[in-house]
Amino acid sequence: MTRFANTLAAAVAAIILLSACKGPVESTQLVVNPDDCTGCGECVEVCPYNAIEVIDGDAVIDPALCHFCYRCVEQCPEGAIN
C-alpha cells in the first residue's frame, strides 16, 4: 500500500510539473523517445526533407534538415515523436 502511495505521489508530482509548463514553449528540435520508438521507419517515409533515418533501431532526426512540418509526429504509430 505504501508503494502504491509513493507511485501515486510521483505520478501526481509529474502531472503538476507538466501542467505547470505554461506560457510560450518553443522547440528547436523534435524529441524522439527511444523507449517508444520501434524503428518501423514510417517517419522516414513521410519526411519530405530527408531529415530522419533509423539508426540502430531508433528514429534519429537531423536538426539541420528538419523543417518542423510535424508529418512524422502525425504519422508515428507509437506517438514517439514530440
Q: Is 5 in the site for another protein (CB under 8 A)?
A: no
Report, in Å, the least distance between residue 58 CB and another protein.
13
- Minimum distance between the CB of residue 45 and another protein, rounded to whole angstroms? 5
Q: Sign of torsion, CA 48 52 53 58?
A: negative
* Grid cell of 42 as nine digits: 514510417
Residues 13-72 that bind another protein (CB under 8 A): 14-15, 17-18, 21, 25-31, 33, 35-36, 41-42, 45-46, 48-50, 53, 55, 62-72
CA neighbours closer than 13 Å in the CB half-sphere of residue 48: 5
Phi, psi angles (nearest 5°) of residue 73: -65, -40
Tell me the longest C-alpha to C-alpha distance in the chain. 51
Q: Provide the minimum distance between the beta carbon of 32 and another protein in the complex, in angstroms, as a whole number.
A: 11
| Residue closer to another protein (CB basis): 11 or 58 | 11
